[in-house]
Each structure stands twice: as C-alpha cells, then as structure tokens.
Structure 1
Amino acid sequence: MLTPKDTPTRETRVLDGTWRFAVDWDNDLDPATLTSEGLPGGLEIAVPASVNDLFADEEVRNHVGYWWYQRRVRVPRGWGEDQVLVHFGSATHAATVWVDGHEAGSFKGGYMPFEFDITDHVTAGEEFLLTVRVDNRLDNTCIPPGTVTELPDGRRQQNYLHDFYNYTGLHRSVTLVARPQRHVCDVTVTTSYEGTTGTVNWEIEQAVDGDVKVHVVDKQTGKTVAEGEGATGSAEIADVTLWTPGVGGLYDLVIELVDGDEVVDSYAQHFGVRTVEVRDNEFLINGKPFYFTGFGMHEDHETLGKGHSNAHMIQDTELLSWIGANSLRTSHYPYAEEFMDFCDRHGIVVIDETPAVGLNWGMAGGILDSGGGETFEKGHVDDDTQAQHRLEIERLIARDKNRPSVVIWSIANEPDSSGRGAREYFEPLAQLARDCDPTRPVGFVNVTFATPDEDKITDLFDVIMINRYNGWYFQTGDLVSAEQTMSEELAGWEKYGKPIIYTEFGADTVAGLHSVYNQPFTEDFQVAYLEMCARVFDSSKWVVGEQMWNFADFQTKYGYARVDGNKKGAFTRDRRPKAAARYLRGRWTAKDEAAYGRRDWRIRERG
C-alpha cells in the first residue's frame, strides 16, 4: 500500500476536521439506520485525535466498545474516470467503514494504515455519507492483547497489560484518493554502494502489467541522476550522496507507467542509499560504528492523546536535536507516517516496533504480577494472538521497508521470553521478519525477569535490546547495589557475542522536586541514576546504544503505582526539561562530537 500523495496522475483530499460523533453505549446501534439516516445527537469530534480527553464526561472517556464517526464528503468533479479510495492512517483498534449505507470493509490493527476502494459507491461531483465505527476493545486476538470484564452492574472494563493509556479513535489523517485504473500498487527499494557509486534496485507491483520507466531524482537538487526501465530493475548513481545519521540525504524513485508516449500513472517513492550491518560487537551504518543515543517515545500529548499533530512532531524532534539524541524507538507501536517521513528527511535513526506489548502474564504494566496462569496458553497468548502478530509484522515491514531511517525491526516489547512456550511462539515470527526483509537486523526487547540464563529466544535475533530498572523497581534508591547488579548481568549478555542496546532505563521523577539526598522521585536522584547507568554502559565494548525511558512523561491507566501517568520523562508531558535533560544533553553532545567532530547532531544551514 502506497502513502497517499498528489502526483501528476493522482489527487488527494484530506478529510481532517470536525466530524459528527456518537457513543454506542450498549454496542447495539443499528448500522443500517445510522449509515443511511445519520448519527443521533449533536456531538462533534476532531479528526485526528483520541476520543478520551476531548469530552468533559467520564462515561465517554471510559466507554468500552463502539464509537461512531460520520461526515459528508464531496467527490471532486474531475474524478469521473479514476478509481476512488478512502484511506485511513489508523483506527485504534478496529474499524468498519460505510459509504452511503454500503459497507466498504473492515480492518483490525490499531496503528497501521488501511484503505477501501469505493469507486462503485460514489459519483464525481456529488456528495456521499462516510461513516466509521471504531471499536476500542482488546482481547487475546489483538496486538496488543487485553480482556474485557463485565461488572455486576453491567459496566464494562477494559483490562490490558501494557503501561500506557489505551487511547482510541481516528488518530491519523483520513484521505480521499483518486488514482488511475492502471496504477502502481507497491514498490520495494533496496540500495547498496561501492566507493562513490550507489546502486538502487526496485520491484514494482502494478494493477495491470505494462511498460514502466524509472527516474532517480536527487531531492536536494531536483536533478535526475539515473534512469531505468521495467517493473524489476536497477540503476547506478554516480557521486552518490549517502543517507547519513544526523544529516539525511534522500532520492526519489519516480515511477511512470506508460502506454506509448502517454504517462498513465506517476508515483515518487523516496529512499536513501545506506547500508546497515551487525559485525561482532559493532552496529554499522555505512560501514561506520554507530552508537544509539535517544529515547523510547510515545505518541502522547495533552488533549490530542495519540492523535498526530505536525506541530507537536516538530516540537518533539526539535527537542531531540537540542538534547543531542540521534535515534528513537517507536515504543510500542508504529508511529504515524508523517513522523517517519520526518525521520527520513532529517537523519533520525529509528528502531521500528510492532504493537506487540503486553505479551507477558507475569507482569502488568511492566511492574506488577498479573497472575492468572502462564503467558503462552489458550486464551492468553495463543495461536490466535500469533496470527495477528504475524499480520502486524508483515504490515509494519510492508509500510516502512523503503525507509532509510529504519535500521532495526523490533517485533515485541518485554514478552515473557523466559516462559514455557516462548521459543515455539517467537521462532517463526523472527523468521517471518527476516523473510519479509533480509536487509535489516531483527530484534525484540528483553524484560528484566528474562536474564541471560533464563531467556529462551535471544539467540534467534541479531541484536540484544534490554530494558533494565535496577535502582528503581529493584534495589530502589540503592545505586551502589544497582550498579553492581547491572554490571554482573551485562557480563552474561556479552557472552552472546552480539551488540547490546539498553532500550529502557529510568526513574519516575516529579518535576521541581529536589533534595540534598539522592531521594527517589527527585530530579537529583534521576540525574544520579542516569550517571550510574552511564558508568555501566561505558564499561563494555558490547554496548552500542542507550535510549532512556522516556522522552516525556505520558499518560497511563489509573492505579496506585501511577499518579497522573508515568513520570520517567526527561521532559514533562508539556515538554519542559527536567534536570536529567541537561545532563543527557551534555553526555550525548560530547559523544556526538567525539564520533563525528560536531556538537549538533543535525547539521543546520544558517544564513
């Protein structure tokens, strides 16, 4: 599936804005009535945005089940000969779509794009009624999994094992798309280079086979630097500009489907020429050792929830630049395509993660024993869960396979990798990821309880990514013992002979709280904790990265372990820096200067 964009042969109409909205309180409203006659009541909702924080009504926020969206859409009058689609950036966690009462289709998976061909149900120049029913319920056939409990008084509660709030709704843009009947369906781009010559290879899927022309365009200069023909082919780029961390460097593969001299369809897919390799204790980008600095992040902002906002994206990436970070992990789900495009353009290195979080019945929200049996058993994480997990891996790689910013596929966060049945569950998934994309390393993120002696699956993967909270959840406040424990465990991971990235480490911190002692929850303790972790990281040649948890404070479900969310951010939820941010800025910019001879990881042009 290609990202919607305007080209010489394609047009788009973004349908963001305010839509009609209704809550299906008993999850029994009649689709036939609603999709033809309209929604009841007078509520409106913003798209994109999460439902949960928009209404001054706790029952709306906590509703478990269906929410209905609706708006009228006019098809541009010039689209009469085109195929017309409606494209959704995401619908969390499942959606069914109707056009003038006709069911266009359904999709399950809360963070991936989907689209439906509605050509037969719309007319150029006329309006149609677009209706979307979003379902926020999670069960064990979902990724992430969950359960719904009905209380004695009839209320429904959504339960889940991940430690971030279950924001739901239409979180990303909705777009009306016109494309030719004969069109490009998909393209896969791979690259390599030798000396100053780059090579780009392509495989193009068409709706109807025919002649194909390809032009490689330097996005910086706008000049064509190579050409080719055929749905499968390759071309060489002289004096190639490599995609480089902190810099970027993109080309467009301009695809033209032709009929004689006529261009039937045109689509430009951006790409970067770069290589990624794991060699012994090193992670190499373009043959040079790369050390990850940055964060696990969340799509989480006040009011918007998980809704994508370009303004917030710019703010967050500017703060990444300020603090000296060169990378991030899309914890714990794929981010909006607009965010990923930005990373491609600006050289931000990405560990791209599926929504497979909460696959661990030994803990809830990362901190508590959930109880209730084994992880890998019927009704918990079972064959139905694995089937959806396979889809999530396939969809993530299909969407992001051409992105130079993506250097690792992370297929799960903190699963029960020491549990009985873990290897049988994960071995085929690791192979699936490699089959889908043999050009990038594959990994998963290890949980504290799955020590080197207990973990059953690390040997299946190319890199070791571990989350550790010694000094916080364990040995709380005792940084001397925490440092000793982390160092001893690190020696166990080194024996695998693979690069190690600490993908999470952190301590909850209340902004503005200080003490002359290293007292947990103070800003002073957070800095001391980070200093301790840094000593561990710097002690080993096998450690190739550190991504603090978290970039910013974020919302979680309520509970005695969380007061208005998770407070481990280097920044507050409204993006104010804690003392830890300035500590990290000093550490990471110094590392960047030592590695690249510059203080600012993202090179800027200043007039």
Structure 2
Amino acid sequence: MLKPRPTTTRELMNLDGIWRFALDTDVGDAPWAEILPGALDVAVPASYNDQFVDPRIRNHVGRVYYQRAVRVPRGWDGERVVLRFDAATHEARVYADGVLAAEHVGGYTPFEADLTNRVRPGQEFLLTVEVNNELTNTTIPPGTITVDQAGRRAQTYLHDFFNYAGLARSVWLHSTPRTHVQDIVITTGVADRAGIVDYRVVHSGEARVRATVLDADGAAVATGTGAAGALRIEDVELWRPGAAYLYRLRVELFDGEELLDSYDEAFGVRTIEVRGREFLINGAPFYFTGFGKHEDTAVRGKGHDDAYLVHDFQLMEWIGANSFRTSHYPYAEEVLEFADRHGIVVIDETAAVGLNLGVQGGLSGRPTTPTFSPETFNDRTREAHAQHLRELIARDKNHPSVVMWCIANEPASNEDGAREYFEPLVDLARELDSTRPLTYAVVMFATFRNDQIVDLFDVVGLNRYYGWYVASGDLETAERYLRQDIQGWVDRVDKPIMMTEYGADAQPGVHSVWDQPWTEEYQASYLETHHRVFDEFPEFVGEQIWNFADFQTSNGIHRVDGNKKGVFTRDRKPKTAAFALRARWRALGNRKPESTIDDTD
C-alpha cells in the first residue's frame, strides 16, 4: 500500500487535530449515526489513555469512538476520494455519515476506505471511527480479558509495555485519479559500478507506464517503459549505513500523451547478504550497534510525534548507534523514512510479542498450559500473524534502511508446536520478500539445547538478561553464564549471532560504589561486562541494548512508573551508561570489534 503524498496528479489533506471522543459505555446502540454525546475531546495522533485524568478512560477495555466533520475539497470532483488511517490500535470500523466504509484488524499497519461513491466534493460528511483495544488468544499481539465480580473488565497480556490504544498515527483524506498507481515494488542490486533497479508497478485501468530514476538533485539517470523492468544507474551512489543516498523512482501513467497519474517512491541502492557467520551490507561486514526502542512518550503514549522523532535520532547519532529494532511492532512510516534519509539500519519487527505462556511460569520457562494448542495460540492466531506479516512487508518493502524482518519477539520456540506454528510464516515471509534475511528474538529459556526453530532463520537474535533476571547483582557469575550461552549457540549454528536485548534497570539519580542493582553505576558495569564477552566471539555481529529510553508498562509491583532499562530516561536525559556507550560505539562505527580469542594455533 503506497503512502499517500501530494503529486502533480494527487492531493492530500491532513485530518489530525481535536476530535470528539466517547467510550462505548457512554453511547447508544448506533453512535456512528449521530453526534457523540458528552463533552470529551481527544487529540489525534495520540493514544487516548493518558490524555485524560479519569482512570475509567485510561484502563478502559473495549470500544471507543472518535468523531469529526470532514469537508471534501470541491476541486476533487471526478477523482477518487480515499480516507487513510496510518494505524488504529487494535481494531477499527470506519463510518461515513453513519454507513460502514471500512474495517481493519491490527494495530500498527495502515488501511484505507474508498469514499468516492459515499461523499461529494465541496460537501461535508460526519466521520466516526470505532476503535477496539481488546486482545485475545487470536489477536496479534495476544491477550486475555477477564471480568471480576463487580462486572469490571480487565485486559491482561504477556508483553511488558502498556496497551496504549486509539488513533496514535495520522489520518488523511487524499485524492487519486480514477486510473492510478496502486503499488510499486523496488529491489536493487549492483553490477560493477552500476546499480540495477528492478521495479514492478501495479495500477488500475489501462495505461502506458513510464518509470524514471531521479538522483538526489532531481536529474533523470535512467528511464524505461512498461509495468515491470530493470533500470541501470551508471556510477551509482550506494545507500550506506551512516551515509545515506536516496534516489526516486517516478512512475507515470499515460493515455497516449495525456498524463493520468504520477507518483514518486524514494529508494536506495544497496545489497544485503548473510554469508556464513557474517552480515554483509554492500558486500562489507556490518556490526549492529543500537537499541530496541518503543514508540512511547508522556501523555501521547504511542502517538507519533515529529519532534521526538528528530530528537531520538539526534541522540542515536550522539551516542554512535547505527541501528535499532522496531520492538515490538511496526513503527510509524515517518520513522523509517527518517532512517532512510539518515543511514540508520532497521530490523523491522511484527507485533507478535507475547506468544509464550512460559512467561507465566517465571524464569523457569515452565508453562502452566502449552503455548501452542487448539485452546491457546492456534491456527487462527497464526492466520492473524500471517496477515500482519503481509501488511508489514507490503508497507515497508521499499525502505533501504530495513535490512531484516523480525517475525516475533520471544516466542516459545522451545516448546512443542513451535515449528508447526512458525514454519508456514517463515515460508510466507520468504515468498513475500526474498531479498532480506529473517530473524526472531530468542527468549531466555529457549536455549541452544532446546530451541526448535532456529534452523529456519538466517540470523540468531538473543534476548538475554544475565546479571539482571538471572544472577542479579552478581556480574562475575553473569559473565560466565553469558559466555557459556553464546559459545553453545556458536557450536550449534553456522549463522551470524547478535544480541537483540540485554539490559538492566537503572533509576535515575540512584548511585552506589558497589554493584548494586537499580543504580546507574550497575547498569554501566552490566553493559561493560556484556561487551567484554561479545568481543571474544568473531561470530558475533551486533549488540542492541534494551532499551533506548524508559517506557510505560502495565501495573505491577516489579515496575515503578514503568520499565527503567532505558539508557535515556523517558524524557530523554542520559544516564551514566550512555556516556560509556558513546565512547565504545563511536570508536566502533560499523565495524566488528577485534576478537580477543587467540585462534592462531
């Protein structure tokens, strides 16, 4: 699905701002057919939960309603009129003047409603959006809803971040010609000093297709005709980590000499390859440094904010990070576009977090019930997962910053049924995109001895917390455990291995001369211990710390105002560990550290 943008043939209107708002408990049977009752307003884009002081709203489980009036520009007569939601967490129904126009399940991918035959240019219509935040065993991510004796509904889930909900990303009204470009697929390669750009265009109606590659200055450097083809860019400028260069593919549709539609898609020429135990970008070994992140800020929740986007990337540049993982869901498209422009490498992850009932058994990893079964996570769950994977790859396939797909975070890959669940998803991902490697984040109690799916994937991503959840406060033991763990994976697989999560909570301002958990010094010592071990293994290809910044979680006595594993606070102030990381990562750049293992014998 192409992101809407204004072109010579298209127009775009942003619908962000203040909308009317109501809970399902405060409306009638058909709230989309009338003006919402009450006096509540809500900001879009933003999660609704923290905008209000009423706990009834913050902890609401069920449907909420957004509403506003929209006037269609009168100049759009004869055009398609399309309503676009960048996301609605986690399920949405869209009504135009009381008539259902679209439905979508999945909280982090876009969807559209074609309103061409429902609205009239120059006139106003009432837009009502029903958003449901409920998570079940067949949603991605999953969860469980309970009802207590007082009739109150509560949502539980197995992921450690708050279940923010609502319209957290932008809403748009845009026009396209009746005959229009529907999708563009771009893959790139390199031959000698030339870039090879394979493209495929999907469009409605009958039209002649022209494709032109424009360089960063807007000059045409290659052109071709037809809905599919290969274009050659002589003396190509490659997209490189830390040194991004973007071209644009301009796709134009013609009827004779009449221009029907025009759309520009940015892309970068680069190659990705896993060769043995190396991860290669443009044929050169790449070492990941960076973070797992979250879309999480005060008041906005998961609401996208351009100021935070710019500042977060500034902090990543300051600290020397070259990459991040979109834990644990696809981020806003603006984030990937920014990464494209600034040469930051992205591991793009699905919203499949919490597929592990072993978490209920604590660190033993012994599930109270099997994770994969007809009663728990089943064929319907996997189909929801597959649909999410389709929508993620369809949205993000042309971003040069995206170098790998992460299919799930911490699934029960050590349990029976894991292979039957994941193998069809791996096959689907490779069918949808054969150009990028696949990974998953391996939970701590899925070990090199019992993991059942690692052979299906290209890169081993380990989530490990030695020194925090295991051997807490004992970094000497933690170092020994970590070294043994990595060595076990090295002996088992001939694949690149990286750390996709490792970290320790640090409460800002808490200090100690001893290795005391929750202090800033312990967090820094914890990371230093891990880096010492990482540097011993030439098979290691990266380190992404959990987490970039502190973030909000659900209520629980083991969390005080959220998860504090951030290297930065929730309002982006550096902790002590940030300065040590800056020294390490700025010295490394994109290079693998020199191994301390003597293998000369």
- Give your verdict on TM over 0.5: yes
- Give 1:133-282 correspondences, 5 Å limit: 133-218=130-215, 220-282=216-278
User: Which residue does the alignment assign to 1:603?
Assistant: none
- Equivalence for 1:30: 29
| Cα separation, partners in 2 of 1:593 and 1:448, compared to 1, 3 Å | closer
Partner of 1:424: 420
What's 1:413 paired with?
A: 409
Structure 2: unaligned runs, 5 residues or longer:
594-601
* Residues in 1 aligned to 2:132 and 2:384: alpha-carbon distance in whole angstroms: 16
Write out the 4+ residue segments of structure 1 that deviate beyond 3 Å after TM superposition. Answer: 364-372, 593-596
Which letter maps to 2:226?
Answer: G
**Mapping 1:79-94, distance limit 5 Å:** 79-94=76-91
What's 1:48 paired with?
45
Does the 8 Å contact 2:71/2:122 carry over to 1? yes
Superposed displacement of residue 378, structure 1: 2.0
Q: Residues 359 and 414 of structure 1 are in contact (CA less than 8 Å); yes or no, is this contact kept in structure 2? A: yes
Per-residue CA shift, 1:269-305, capped at 9, x if unaligned? 1111000000111100000000000000000000100
Q: SS of the residue aligned with 1:53? A: helix
Deviations 1:146-189 (A, max 9, x none): 01101110000001000000000101000001000000110110
Point out where structure 1 has 5 or more consecutive residues left out of the alignment. Answer: 597-607
Query: Does the CA-based 8 Å contact 1:423-1:456 persist in structure 2?
Result: yes
DSSP-derived class of the 2:312 partner? helix
Whether 1:306 and 2:280 are equivalent positions in the alignment is no
SS in 1 for 2:25: coil
Residue 222 of structure 1 and its aligned partner are, at CA, apart by: 1.2
Aligned counterparts of 2:364 and 2:251: Cα–Cα separation in 1: 52
SS in 2 for 1:149: strand
Structure 1: which amino acid aligns with 2:338?
F
Deviation at 1:127, TM superposition (A): 0.5
* Structure 1 position 559 matched with structure 2 position 548: no
Partner residue of 1:459 out of 435, 455, 462 = 455
Shift of 1:562: 0.8
Distance (Å, rounded) in 2 between the aligned partners of 1:108 and 1:137: 11
Select which of 503, 509, 512 maps to 1:512: 509
**Aligned ranges 1:189-588 → 2 under 5 Å:** 189-218=186-215, 220-364=216-360, 372-495=368-491, 496-588=493-585
Q: Is the 8 A contact 1:163 1:365 kept in 2?
A: no
Would the aligned equivalents of 2:285 and 2:591 in 1 still touch at CA under 8 Å? Answer: no
1:312 and 1:529 map into 2 onto residues whose CA distance is 28
Asked if the contact 2:541–2:592 (Cα under 8 Å) also holds between the matched residues in 1, the reply is: no
Q: Deviations over 1:400-453 (max 9, x none)?
A: 111100001000000000001011111111111101100000111100100000
Distance in 2, matches of 1:107 and 1:470, equals 40
1:369 Cα deviation from its structure 2 partner = 6.4
Q: State the alpha-carbon separation in 2 of the partners of residues 345 and 258 from structure 1.
A: 30
Residue in 2 aligned with 1:69?
Answer: 66
Matching residue's letter, 2:558: A
Indicate conservation of the 8 Å contact 1:162/1:364, yes or no. no
Letter of the 1:6 counterpart: P
Q: In structure 1, what is the equivalent of residue 20 of structure 2?
A: 20
How far has the Cα of 1:209 moved from its partner? Answer: 3.3
TM-score by length of 2: 0.97
Which whole-Å CA distance do the structure 2 matches of 1:247 and 1:257 have between them?
33
- How far apart are the structure 2 equivalents of 1:492 and 1:519? 29
Question: Deviation at 1:214?
Answer: 0.8
Map of 2:101 onto structure 1: 104
The residue number in structure 1 matching 2:129 is 132
Q: Provide closer, same or farther for how the CA distance between residues 44 and 368 of structure 1 changes in structure 2, counting only shifts above 3 A.
A: farther
Letter in 1 for 2:304: H
Q: Is the 8 A contact 1:193 1:274 kept in 2?
A: yes
Conserved 8 A contact 1:252-1:269: yes
AA in 2 matched with 1:307? G
Distance 1:368 1:593, change over 3 A: closer
Q: Please tell me whether the aligned partners of residues 358 and 365 of structure 1 are also in contact (alpha carbons under 8 angstroms).
A: no
Task: Indicate whether 1:9 and 2:6 are aligned.
Answer: no
- Alignment-mate amino acid for residue 396 of structure 1: L
The C-alpha deviation readout for 1:106-160, integer Å capped at 9, x for no partner, is 1000000000101111000010000000000000111000011011100000010
Matches of 2:501 and 2:547, distance apart in 1: 8
Q: CA 1:232–1:271 in 2, change beyond 3 Å: closer, same or farther?
A: same
Inter-CA distance 266–228: structure 2 relative to 1 (3 Å threshold): same
Shift in Å, 1:348 = 0.6
SS at match of 1:529: helix
* Equivalent-residue separation in structure 2 for 1:366 and 1:68 (angstroms): 37
Code of the aligned partner of 1:376: F
Q: Is the 8 A contact 1:358 1:364 kept in 2?
A: no
Query: How far does residue 379 in structure 1 lie from its aligned partner after superposition?
Result: 2.8
Question: How many angstroms apart in 2 are the aligned matches of 1:562 and 1:401?
Answer: 37
Q: Secondary structure at the match of 2:384?
A: helix
Tell me the amino acid that sits aligned with residue 23 of structure 1: L
Instruction: Give the secondary structure class of the aligned counterpart of 1:362.
Output: helix
> Structure 1 residues 159-168 or 191-200, which shifts more?
191-200
Report how many residues are paired. 592
The answer (yes or no) to whether the contact 1:515–1:524 under 8 Å persists in 2 is yes
- Structure 1 residues 368 and 575: alpha-carbon distance in aligned structure 2, compared to 1, 3 A threshold: farther
Cα distance between partner residues in 1 of 2:423 and 2:554: 32
Deviation at 1:210, TM superposition (A): 2.1
1:38 and 1:369, CA in 2 relative to 1: closer, same or farther beyond 3 A? Answer: farther
What is the percent sequence identity of the aligned residues?
A: 55
What's the counterpart of residue 599 of structure 1? none
